[in-house]
């Protein structure tokens, strides 16, 4: 008696199952919608992050530029005291003394003047500029009023005298100018009927 070969199990499978064994499963519409929403959210986050990074870059560049320009403010204020003293010293030399000065005194005066000019050049190199607002309209942002004066040649509210020059560092006030301001003329008292002489009319 001969043995028969075992029956092939695959042959017993229905034809429908064999046809669909390798086909991909269809994704439900809800999953597609959720995936699109997630992608949109990630894109929005990415754009926000890129915008924040760009703002941070600009802010950092601005802070570095400000530090470069305004970082010398403390040192510059101290140097201004030296410049003021040199200017005062030169201001005490009268014209008559200059005319009759001997060679040594003349050389000393010229040396101090040269040093003052060099000092101002160095300050300007680092963005420090001097301003003297003689005759300008008083501006509390850049001027400091020391007192008021009467002056018919200068309009009221304008600078009549500069006591000490001011300095700017870039577009900021390093030191305001000390000034005297022209005050407004007093108003005339209003006339009244009592001012008329008695019995007039």
Q: How large is the angle between the packed helices 73-91 and 103-125, nearest 10 degrees? A: 160
Q: What is the pTM of this model?
A: 0.60
At residue 197, does pLDDT exceed 70? no
At residue 93, does pLDDT exceed 60? yes
pLDDT per position as a tens digit, 99-116? 888 999 999 999 999 999
Q: What is residue 32's predicted lDDT score, i.e. its pLDDT? A: 86
Spacing of C-alpha 93 from chain mean position:
40
Distances (CA, A) of 52 to 43, 56, 68: 14, 6, 24
pLDDT per position as a tens digit, 112-139? 999 999 999 999 998 999 999 999 999 9
| Cα–Cα dist 128/108, whole Å | 27
| CB-CB contact of 77 with 175 (8 Å) | yes
Query: For residue 4, how many other CB atoms are within 10 A of its CB?
Result: 6
β pairing state of 177-182 and 143-149: parallel
| Cα–Cα dist 100/76, whole Å | 36
| Cα–Cα dist 21/88, whole Å | 102
| CB-CB contact of 138 with 157 (8 Å) | yes
| DSSP states along 154-199 | S-TTBEEEEEE-EEEETTEEEEPEEEEEEPPPPPPPPP-GGGSPTT
Q: What is residue 67's predicted lDDT score, i.e. its pLDDT? A: 78
């Amino acid at each position: 008696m001969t043995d028969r070969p075992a029956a092939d199990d695959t042959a017993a499978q229905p034809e429908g199952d064999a046809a669909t064994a390798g086909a991909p499963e269809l994704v439900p519409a809800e999953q597609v919608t959720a995936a699109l929403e997630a992608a949109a959210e990630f894109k929005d986050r990415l754009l926000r992050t890129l915008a924040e990074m760009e703002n941070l870059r600009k802010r950092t560049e601005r802070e570095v530029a400000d530090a470069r320009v305004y970082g010398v403010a403390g040192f510059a204020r101290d140097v201004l005291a030296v410049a003021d003293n040199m200017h005062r010293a030169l201001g005490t030399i009268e014209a008559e003394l200059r005319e009759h000065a001997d060679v040594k005194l003349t050389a000393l005066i010229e040396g101090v003047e040269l040093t003052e000019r060099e000092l101002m050049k160095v300050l300007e190199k680092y963005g420090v500029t001097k301003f003297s607002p003689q005759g300008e309209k008083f501006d509390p942002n850049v001027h400091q009023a020391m007192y008021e004066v009467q002056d018919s040649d200068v309009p009221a509210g304008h600078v009549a005298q500069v006591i000490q020059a001011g300095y700017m560092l870039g577009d900021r006030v390093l030191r305001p100018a000390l000034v005297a301001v022209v005050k407004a003329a007093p108003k005339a008292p209003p006339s009244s009927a009592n001012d008329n002489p008695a019995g007039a009319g």
